[in-house]
A and B are shown apart, each in its own frame.
Chain A
C-alpha cells in the first residue's frame, strides 16, 4: 500500500469517528488499513513523521490521534 492511500484511509476513518472518539489503539489503525501489524507500522510511522497523526500516552498505554484532535479532557471521559 502506498503512503497516500494509507493516509486517505486513516484520515477518513478517524474523521468519521471524531465526534465520539479522538484516540485510537494501534490495532484499530491496522484494521482500518487491513494490514498485518508490521506492515501497518511502517505506514503509521510515516504518518507520524509527516505530522498527520500524533501519539498520545497515558504513560502505560500509547494511542494515536489525528494531529491536534486529541483533547486532554478526553482522558477524563468528559466528552
Chain B
C-alpha cells in the first residue's frame, strides 16, 4: 500500500510510453520489501516521499525543492548538487535529496559487474534511483543525504576506481560517441581523446573557476551521434581532407538492388526500388555528385562532408584517409538570446596521439584564457563570441581567417584587416593619388 495517494502521477502511467512514475513505484516497493536485506543508510521510504512531494508539486503547480546548497565532497566544487525539500515535515524521506554526478567511462562501455556494483552502492547509500545518463553524459545518482556524500565518494574512488563528474562553473564531464570501438565512420579515436582530455583537465573538472559551465563533446564523424555541434561549448567532429573513397562495383550493387540502402534501416515500409538519382544525387546539399554512364562522380572540392551519401551507401562510399577533426566553438542552450550551434573555428586539425594531442590542447587553453579573463559571470563562450565578435576569437587563438569561417556572405560578421596586417598601412600619398584621380 502506497504511503501517499498519487492520482495525478498515476495518470502519467496511462500513456503509451514507459513511465518514470512506474519506475519510482517499483523501487519504492522493492525498498519496502527489502528482499536482499540491504542496510539502508537513508530513509527506506525515500522513494515513497519522492512520489508524494512530486504529487504535491503537480497539485500546487510549483516546485517544493529549494535551490542549490553548500554540499559537496571535500575539495571538489562539482559533482554534487544540493537539493533540499521545502516540506520536510510531510516528506522526511526526501528532506535532503542531493544529486551526484558520476563520471561515465568514455563511450559508455561498462561491464555488468561494474553496473551491479554501482547499483548496489546506490541502493545502500542513496535512493536507488538513477538516471542513465544525464544530458551531459554522466551517470546520475538521484537523491541522498548530506552525511552519505563523503561515504559514497570514498567507496567510488577506493573500491570502484570511479570519480565524480562535473557540475557548476567548471568543465563538465567530457562525453563522446562510441567511435572506432565499433563504428567504421569514425575519423579519429574519440574515446582516447575524450579520456586523455578528461585526465589532463582534472583541475578544471573539479575546481570551478570558469565564468560558467564548459562542455567538450567528441563525435567521430559528422553524423554527430552525441550532437556535439549543438550541445558543447567546444565540439570535436571527425572529418577528412582527401576524397571520399568510391567502390564503383558496390555502387552498381546498390543500383541493381543487390545491397539494401541505409544498411537496411528505415525498412518499416516499402519505399520501392532504390533510385540513386532521387535518394543520393539530388539530396547532396552541395550538388557536387553525378551519376553518369553507370559511374558515380564526386567533385570533392565542393563536398561539405555531410555524410548523407556515405550513410545511404556505406558499402560503396567511405570517408577519405587523411583524417582529423574540426573544432567548433560556442554552442549553447537558449537561456540567454536563444540556442546557438557551434561556429567552425578550426576547419581541420590532426588528432595526434603521439604528441599527446598537443595542438588541440593549445587551442583549448587559449580559448579558456580569453574566456576566463573577459567572460562575464554566467556568460557562456558562445555569448562572449557574440559580444566581442568571432574575429576576436580568431585573434586570441592565433588562427588565420579562412573562407571556411564565413558561413555565407553577409550572414556572419565580416572579418576586417587591421592596419598592421597590411603592407604600407592605411597611409597613402594623396598627391600621387590625385595625379590619376580627379576630385
Contacts and interface: CB of A to CB of B under 8 A. Distances in A.
B208 A59 contact: no
Main secondary structure of the interface of B (DSSP, over half): loop
B409 interface: no
B381 to A, nearest CB: 14
- Chain A's interface size range is 20 to 34
A48 B75 contact: yes
Interface residues of B, number: 34
B69 A72 contact: yes
Interface string A26-67: 110000000011101100110011000011111111100100
A60 B77 CA distance: 11
Nearest to A51: B74
A38 B372 CA distance: 8
A72 to B, nearest CB: 6
Contact of B209 (A26, A54, A58, A76): A26
B169 A62 contact: yes
Interface string B163-190: 0000111100000000000000000000
A52 to B, nearest CB: 13
Given A57-B82, A62-B208, A75-B67, A26 B169 contact: yes
B70 A58 contact: no
B207 A41 contact: yes
Contacts of B133: none
A26 B210 contact: yes
B61 to A, nearest CB: 18
Interface string B67-85: 1111110011110111010
A60 B209 contact: no
Nearest to B170: A62
Contacts of B376: 27
Contacts of A62: 77-78, 168-170, 208
Interface in B312-356: none
Contacts of B69: 56-57, 72, 75
Contacts of A75: 66-69
Contacts of A76: 66-67
A36 to B, nearest CB: 7
The winner among A59, A70, A72 for most chain B CB atoms within 10 A is A59
Contacts of B99: 59
Contacts of B14: none
B169 A37 contact: no
Contacts of A59: 68, 81, 99, 167-168
B153 interface: no
Contact of B70 (A26, A36, A37, A55): A55
A14 B168 CA distance: 21
Contact of B68 (A26, A27, A48, A56): A56
A58 B373 CA distance: 22
A25 B372 CA distance: 12
B67 A37 contact: no
A37 B75 contact: no
A61 B369 CA distance: 19
A61 B282 CA distance: 47
A48 B207 contact: yes
Contacts of B386: none
Contacts of B213: 60
B216 interface: no
Interface in B30-89: 66-72, 75-78, 80-82, 84
Given A48-B75, A57-B69, 20 more contacts: A26-B209, A36-B373, A37-B209, A37-B369, A37-B373, A45-B207, A55-B72, A56-B68, A56-B70, A57-B71, A57-B78, A58-B168, A59-B99, A59-B168, A61-B169, A61-B378, A62-B78, A75-B66, A75-B67, A75-B68
Interface of B: 66-72, 75-78, 80-82, 84, 99, 167-170, 203, 207-213, 369, 372-373, 376-378
5 contacts: A45-B207, A48-B75, A57-B69, A60-B213, A75-B67
